[in-house]
Structure 1
Amino acid sequence: MREYKIAVIPGDGIGKEVMDEGIKVLNKLSSLSGEVEFKFDNYDWGCEYYLKHGKMMDEDGLEKLKQYDAILLGAVGYPGVPDHISLRDLLLKIRQGFNQYINLRPIKLLPNVECPLKNKDSDDIDMVFVRENKEGEYSGVGGILNEGKEDEIAIQTSVFTRKNTEKVMKFAFEFAKKRNKLNKVTSVTKSNALNYSMVFWDKIFKETSEEYPEIKTESYHVDATSMFMLQRPETFDVFVASNLFGDILTDLGSVLQGGLGFAAGANINPEREYPSMFEPVHGSAPDIAGKGLANPIAMIWTVQMMLDFLEEKELSDMAMEGIKEILKDKERLTPDLGGKATTSEVGDFMCQVLENRC
């Protein structure tokens, strides 16, 4: 029996609801396998925790999380807590503290899901973003001078290191080899305006590409990239992008794949020195929390990504095939997909499909 210890941070709002369904699916996969067992420990960190304790997580939170094979995060965000606090004091603290320098976001339109673009189907929307996840524009370097005065100044400095940028680039090229789709990596830049950071980015991309002559390359400015994603998404395979550009473009990508209810994500430490963290990126949606309206598919897809990272390929494949199967019956999906089911009922439906397939 292979056993995995999973730290669970449901977070806020609908994060708690979708997390229940992700764990439900994991437990079902475990019982069907008979060879894999998951042990879960829950941590109530997040914005609601902050309102009670004045901090987003325990002081020794990272030390507690070190012992796990992976971390599952639901969503973070709550009225009354500024977004920069919720992001920097929990998400970024874990990403940076555990050297999770790769953010992996699949942008794939699944069969039976409507695409907002005309004449595009599941063969056309199939790309992956490799986003730098701990440096760049989100490094947190800067400050505010003369606060509250007429000559107040805000300074935000991006930080790009050669060591980290090279690792991100190489990960993207290796991922393109593994996917074996178009065998292409597209770099997102803005070197015409950002004459230090993005010129540096372009240089490292060119150097890295020379190590992978079998992989085709292209480089577009971020504004052009957003346009081409809408005009000709089928021409893309693997993107590599900085923290900010990757953050923005993947939300655009989620719309192409059917909405935020499909937006799964992984924060990866490839060397496995620390646990990696897996999270849907639809946000906590406090306006619909507690109503059973949240679409849990992004959480279930996130669970599938975790299984893939843990090298449980059979269970990972079962999860993905299960997601595709439940999408055939719209009546049993949540209202955002045209159905009438609750969050919990979709999870139950997924478990039923998995059992029927075995």
Structure 2
Amino acid sequence: MPAAPATRTFRIAAIPADGVGEEVVAAGRTVLDALAAGSGGAFAFDWTEFPWGCGYYAETGRMMPADGLEQLRDFDALYFGAVGWPSVPDHISLWGLRLNICQNFDQWANVRPVRFHPGITSPLRKADHTELDWVVVRENSEGEYAGLGGRNLSGRGPGNEVALQTALFTEHGCERIIRFAFDLARQRPRKKVSSVTKSNAQQYGMVLWDEVFERVAADYPDVETESVLVDAMAAKFVLKPEDLSVVVASNLNADILSDLGSALAGSLGLAASANLNPERRFPSMFEPVHGSAPDIAGQGLANPAGALGSAALMLDHFGLPAEATRLRDAIDATAAAGIRTPDVGGTAKTTEITDAVVAELG
């Protein structure tokens, strides 16, 4: 009798954080465990949950403990929910947890697919008859979110304070994310990279980006390229999305454009993302793009599709592409069957979506 296949056990830190983050991370864990249970022992997940977030802040004055990064360092991946709550200023919650992890673990590549699901109505009429599928690659370590700057001159009295927010662009940072985008484009049916800047107005950092893009593009003669100003790209997302494959942009520009892409697909609740440390010196983090949604938190109405899509990205990261495809197909089949949450015109609960996806996985 042949021996059972060796089990690969992936250690994952679950950080549900705030609001609907708890509900969608629970959904993702259920689906991933179902996949593992059906793998015939080929792989398994070992979960450790961390109760960090705005509730933790209310108790301790911190979004995560001082040694939190050390606690996370040896995991194979991090599975994140959403951060933010009305009782905590957004810049404190974001910098205290999510950005603290992303920047210290050098998760410099943020991948955000724009995926149109069958059965979900897009506000784009073109989506009814055109194959649309692109991915936004976001520089995730510097740019406009580098955290450089300060507030000064408040001592001069009301109305005289000055705030400086400095965007940081390094040649190294630009090159590694642009090369990442080109390498990704080579794996897609349409081998094209669209670079997004605002170099007509931001004549230093964005011009450096443009110059690096032109230099790197020369190493990929098989990949089609274009360079588009961010305002024109916002229009292109709406008017000519079929011309997009890989869109690479700075931290702020890609953040905004990826949300636009998800809205065009039907809802921010559909949007998945991966915060990658491609060198694997640190664990990568997988999270839905939507926020903590305090208005529906605890009601069981959150759309888990973004969290499930993020779980599929994690499976890709673990070298399990077939399982990732199975999961994406199950999400699509569930949507096509009309089992949808209220944000995409349905009445289903989070748990109903989760159960339907598990059933599709067989």
Short-chain TM bin: over 0.9
Structure 1 residues 227-238: aligned runs within 5 Å: 227-238=235-246
Q: Give the whole-Å Cα distance in 2 for the aligned partners of 1:123 and 1:321.
A: 19
1:259, 1:106 → 2: CA distance? 13
- Please give the secondary structure, in 2, of the residue aligned with 1:3: strand
SS of the residue corresponding to residue 178 of structure 1 reads: coil
Alignment partner of 1:273 is 2:281: yes
Report whether the alignment pairs 1:5 with 2:11: yes
TM-score of the pair, normalised by structure 2: 0.95
1:1-358 to structure 2, matched below 5 A, reads 1-34=7-40, 35-121=42-128, 123-147=130-154, 149=157, 150-179=159-188, 181-330=189-338, 332-355=339-362
Rounded Cα–Cα distance in structure 1 between residues aligned with 2:323 and 2:147: 38
The count of corresponding residues between Structure 1 and Structure 2 is 353
Provide the rounded CA distance (Å) in 2 between the counterparts of 1:10 and 1:165: 31
Could you tell me which runs of 5 or more consecutive residues in structure 2 were left unpaired when the two chains were aligned: 1-6
SS at match of 1:194: coil
Give yes or no for contact 1:124–1:233 (8 Å, CA) kept in 2.
no
Moved over 6 A (4+): none
Equivalent-residue separation in structure 2 for 1:87 and 1:246 (angstroms)? 17
Q: Any conservation in 2 of the 1:139–1:159 contact (CA below 8 Å)?
A: yes
Quick one: distance in 1 between partners of 2:127 and 2:261?
Answer: 14
Structure 1 pair 102–49 and aligned structure 2 pair: CA distance change class (3 A): same
Q: Distance in 2 between matches of 1:15 and 1:209?
A: 39
- Contact kept? 1:92, 1:134, Cα under 8 Å: no
Q: Distance in 1 between matches of 2:128 and 2:216?
A: 33
Does the 8 A contact of 2:144 with 2:252 survive in 1? Answer: yes
- The alpha-carbon deviation at position 155 of structure 1 amounts to 0.5
Q: Distance in 1 between matches of 2:225 and 2:147?
A: 31
Q: Whole-Å Cα distance in 1 between the matches of residues 58 and 203 of structure 2? A: 41
1:58-111 Cα deviation digits (max 9, x unpaired)? 101111111100000011110111111111111111111011000000012122
Contact residue 269 and residue 276 of structure 1 kept, 8 A: yes
TM normalised by structure 1 equals: 0.96
Deviation string for 1:283-320 (max 9, x for gaps)? 00011011111111111111011001111122111101
Q: 1:320-354, CA deviations, whole angstroms, 9 ceiling, x for partnerless residues?
A: 11111111221x32222332221112111111111
